[in-house]
């Protein structure tokens, strides 16, 4: 027998793709988790259609999951895939543009029939030729028929049998990349423990796929990717929505408060609601409201009642919550609003990522209605910024909007679990002196009012959306409104005391400073590192604190000749910076395709700027 070809790689990207019902998201997640357990650094990108069940076999119904893992630090799921696992012709058509030149295509040869080729709108019986993939190594595997053959003794109907073919593909890829099956076995036994036949059938097919790889070694090379060198600690694979939920839990625990979440389910934010609804054991109260307005209204009520109050949403929901956010601003209640951004406007692209809600977060309310705005950069640091959003809200008595996005919320990476001692303290601004209490009496340093809630004897007061004076009495006095409006803005600006200085990755001065915010971090840092290795004079400044901006922002900008602001919108942060930090030489790189940046397109934009 011919020996197996072993290819050693520093990093590799795999893309699993098929119909929405083919289980590609689960397949990718299980492979990613098994890879993380082996000690590789990883970054993932789930990519699926918004239709609940798009027409089977069509390009519009293709669901994909890309994971990049490696021996070194991994910050993106990869521009292009080294390996594509395609369950039907539509998957190849939808993903041809995401293939690395010369990459390997593993496909279910049983599905490449006349009917499925027609559904994917191929004109000939040579789909690879039509797509210009003739020179790409291709491994044809009869996945469907091998799955049917492997399960013929289980007494399952054909539909149930076909649900397991993703496990065959997973087993094959696990063999190719030297991933052990123990983790996947354990997951299957746990998830389907009440359905023994499902457990046994899926494990049987998983191992059939693995054994097929061993038996066909002359066709399927194996890849060796050594574990990454990472800091010692306890790690787990986590996506951004999970990390956000846990950051809120940690903040409530550290503050000594109960956590309340009032939300309406909306893609891609729903998983935060789902994750917190499972934590009644930690005293969490979740309310699935009938609409977005009821969700935030219930959270404002919980804030008035003394809870760490949170509401979660995406872009369309943030628009509906705008009036109630204004109420929280006027009442000066601590409230955390998490917006997992998606493509817009209106319902837009529900399952695709975008950064186009920034101006809505900053200005999208009637009247002068300032709030603190934060953004997370990676799936794992959603934990930290959810925690910091809670700290700021509770200590400064102000609503805080935390911006994540679909790429972060659904994407995953290894996360080093922190100890409680590593987290900043949280000291809610609770009222203590009943005799001296006035609802809008303020701390001289922070301008935050005291927090008193029902059940605190002697602290009864009036609250609501009408302007008040210091005693809480409704006031229409023009001078009082002027003063309070200025105070509410200044109170937000003074949060800068909690904001760390803006750091620069690279040289502290130079030709080009790349600027980004939020979920573009992974692609921007990867781009800057590559350009610097090529000898280019490029540095990166990435923002997590949007309002207020870090106090040294102007100083950092002044040391660079050109500033290129890269964001997944038409230039919202660039416009904001031009307003707040005028006089600098700003340029833009923008993308609104419902997809994250690629390193190659960022390098092209920055190199063009360097050449001008």
Phi then psi dihedrals of residue 343, to 5 deg: -65, 140
Cα(337)–Cα(248) distance, integer angstroms: 11
- Tokens at 372, concatenated: 């603190």
Please, where are the H alpha helices in 544-598? 553-557, 572-580
Average pLDDT estimate for 135-144? 94
Phi and psi torsions of 586, nearest 5°: -90, 140
* Beta strand segments in 298-421, E: 308-313, 335-341, 372-375, 399-405, 412-416
Cβ(330)–Cβ(256) below 8 Å: no
The whole-angstrom separation of Cα 38 and Cα 71 is 11
Q: What token pair was written down for 428? A: 């809610």
The tokens for 172 are 């094959």
Q: What is the pLDDT of residues 534-549, one digit of tens each?
A: 999 999 999 999 999 9
Q: Predicted confidence band at 1 (pLDDT cuts at 50, 70, 90)?
A: very low
* Peptide bond preceding 391 in cis form (omega within 30 of 0): no
- DSSP-H helix ranges across 534-598: 553-557, 572-580
Across all residues in the chain, what is the average pLDDT? Answer: 94
List the Cα angle 18/20/21 in 5-degree steps: 95
Q: Could you give the 3-state DSSP secondary structure of residue 479? A: helix
Q: What is the pLDDT of residue 420?
A: 82
Helices 240-255/382-396 angle, 10° precision: 40
The rounded distance, in Å, linking the Cα atoms of 227 and 489 is 49
Q: In what order do the strands lie in the sheet with 308-313?
A: 285-288, 259-263, 308-313, 335-341, 399-405, 372-375, 545-547
Rounded distance, CA 467 to CA 331, Å? Answer: 9
Position 560 pLDDT exceeds 90: yes
Three-state DSSP string of 140-170: EECHHHHHHHHCCCCCCCHHHHHCCHHHHHH
pLDDT band at 467 (very low <50, low <70, confident <90, very high): very high
Rounded distance between C-alpha atoms, residue 249 and residue 262, angstroms: 14
Q: How many Å separate Cα 372 from the centre of its chain?
A: 20
Model pLDDT for residues 386-439, shown as the tens digit of each residue:
999 999 999 999 999 999 999 999 999 999 999 888 899 999 999 999 999 999
Whether the link from the prior residue into 43 is cis, omega within 30° of 0, is no
Q: Could you give the CA distance from residue 416 to residue 57 in angstroms, rounded to a whole number?
A: 40
Gap between the Cα atoms of 191 and 523, Å rounded: 34
DSSP 251: H
For residues 241 and 299, give the distance between their C-alpha atoms in angstroms, rounded to a whole number: 19
Strands 99-108, 81-86: pairing kind:
parallel
- pLDDT of 230 above 80: no
What pLDDT sits at residue 10? 84
142-195: pLDDT as tens digits: 999 999 999 999 989 999 999 999 999 999 999 999 899 999 999 999 999 999
CA distances for 493 relative to 446, 558, 573, angstroms: 9, 22, 18
* Between residues 562 and 7, the one the model is more confident about: 562
Domains and CATH numbers, the chain: 6-224 (3.40.920.10), 238-422 (3.40.50.970), 504-611 (3.40.50.920)
Mean pLDDT for 572-583 is: 98
Let me know: does 354 contact 405? Beta carbons within 8 Å: yes
Would you put residue 297 in left (φ > 0), alpha (ψ -120 to 50) or beta? alpha
Reported confidence tier of residue 71, pLDDT bands at 50, 70, 90? confident
Across 266-307, the runs of DSSP E, i.e. the strands, are: 285-288
Between CA 573 and CA 577, with CA 576 as vertex, the angle to 5 degrees is 85
Percent of residues, the chain, with pLDDT higher than 70:
97
CB atoms within 10 A of CB 158: 10
The pLDDT value given to residue 234: 87
DSSP structural state of residue 516: E
**Please, what is the Cα angle at 223 between 137 and 84, to 5 degrees?**
45
* Among 6, 102, 107, 26, CA closest to 67: 26
Cβ burial of 290 (10 Å; 0-12, 13-18, 19+) is exposed
> Under a CB-based contact definition with an 8 Å cutoff, are residues 63 and 27 in contact?
no
SS3 of 357, please?
coil
CA distances from 29 to 23, 173, 322, 410, 466 (A): 10, 13, 35, 10, 49
d(CA 438, CA 461) in angstroms, rounded, equals: 8
| Confidence class for position 595, pLDDT limits 50, 70, 90 | very high
Does residue 212 surpass a pLDDT of 60?
A: yes
Instruction: Give start and end residues of each alpha helix (H) in 332-477.
Output: 358-363, 382-396, 406-410
Report the alpha-carbon distance of residue 189 to residue 53 in Å, rounded.
27
The b-or-e profile of 113-135 (16+ CB within 10 A means b, else e) is eeebbebbebeeeebbebbebee
Q: Does residue 101 have a pLDDT over 50?
A: yes
In the beta sheet, which residues pair with residue 46?
65
Does residue 344 surpass a pLDDT of 80?
A: yes
């Amino acid at each position: 027998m011919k020996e197996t070809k072993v290819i050693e790689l520093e990093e590799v990207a795999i893309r699993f793709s098929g119909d929405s019902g083919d289980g590609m998201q689960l397949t990718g997640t299980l492979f990613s988790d098994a890879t993380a357990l082996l000690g590789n650094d990883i970054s993932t990108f789930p990519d699926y259609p918004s239709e609940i069940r798009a027409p089977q076999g069509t390009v519009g119904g293709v669901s994909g999951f890309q994971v990049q893992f490696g021996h070194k630090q991994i910050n993106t799921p990869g521009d292009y895939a080294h390996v594509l696992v395609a369950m039907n012709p539509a998957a190849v058509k939808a993903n041809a543009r995401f293939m690395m030149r010369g990459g390997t295509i593993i496909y279910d040869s049983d599905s490449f029939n006349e009917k499925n080729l027609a559904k994917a709108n191929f004109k000939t019986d040579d789909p690879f030729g039509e797509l210009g993939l003739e020179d790409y190594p291709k491994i044809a595997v009869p996945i469907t028929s091998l799955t049917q053959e492997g399960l013929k003794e289980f007494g399952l109907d054909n539909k149930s049998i076909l649900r397991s073919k993703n496990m065959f593909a997973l087993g094959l890829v696990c063999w190719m990349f030297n991933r052990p099956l123990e983790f996947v076995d354990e997951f299957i036994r746990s998830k389907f423990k009440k359905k023994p036949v499902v457990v046994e059938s899926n494990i049987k097919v998983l191992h059939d796929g693995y054994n097929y790889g061993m038996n066909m070694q002359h066709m399927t090379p194996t890849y060796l990717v050594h574990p990454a060198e990472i800091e010692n600690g306890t790690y787990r694979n986590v996506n951004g929505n999970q990390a956000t939920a846990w950051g809120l839990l940690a903040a409530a625990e550290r503050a000594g408060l109960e956590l309340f979440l009032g939300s309406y389910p909306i893609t891609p934010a729903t998983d935060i609601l789902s994750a917190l609804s499972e934590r009644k054991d930690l005293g969490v109260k979740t309310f699935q409201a009938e609409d977005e307005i009821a969700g935030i209204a219930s959270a404002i009520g919980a804030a008035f009642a003394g809870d760490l109050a949170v509401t979660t949403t995406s872009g369309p929901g943030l628009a509906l919550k705008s009036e109630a956010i204004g109420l929280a601003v006027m009442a000066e209640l601590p409230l955390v609003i998490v917006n997992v951004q998606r493509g817009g406007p209106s319902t837009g692209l529900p399952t695709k990522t975008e950064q186009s809600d920034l101006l809505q977060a900053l200005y999208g309310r009637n009247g002068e209605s300032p709030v603190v705005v934060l953004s997370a950069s990676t799936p794992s640091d959603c934990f930290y910024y959810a925690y910091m959003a809670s700290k700021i809200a509770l200590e400064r008595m102000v609503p805080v909007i935390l911006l994540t996005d679909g790429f972060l919320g659904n994407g995953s990476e290894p996360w080093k679990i922190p100890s409680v001692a590593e987290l900043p303290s949280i000291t809610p601004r609770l009222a203590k002196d009943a005799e001296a209490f006035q609802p809008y009496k303020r701390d001289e340093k922070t301008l935050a009012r005291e927090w008193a809630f029902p059940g605190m004897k002697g602290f009864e007061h009036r609250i609501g959306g009408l302007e008040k004076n210091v005693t809480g009495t409704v006031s229409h006095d023009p001078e009082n409104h002027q003063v309070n409006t200025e105070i509410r803005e200044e109170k937000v600006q003074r949060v800068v005391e909690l904001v760390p200085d803006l750091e620069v990755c690279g040289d502290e001065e130079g030709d080009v400073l790349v600027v980004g915010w939020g979920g573009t971090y992974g692609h921007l840092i990867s781009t800057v590192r590559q350009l610097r290795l090529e000898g280019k004079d490029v540095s990166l400044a990435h923002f997590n604190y949007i309002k207020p901006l870090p106090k040294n922002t102007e100083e950092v900008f002044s040391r660079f000749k050109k500033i290129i602001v890269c964001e997944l919108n038409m230039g919202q942060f660039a416009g904001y910076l031009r307003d707040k930090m005028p006089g600098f030489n700003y340029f833009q790189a923008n993308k609104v395709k419902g997809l994250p940046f690629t390193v190659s397109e960022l390098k092209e934009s920055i190199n063009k700027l360097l050449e001008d």
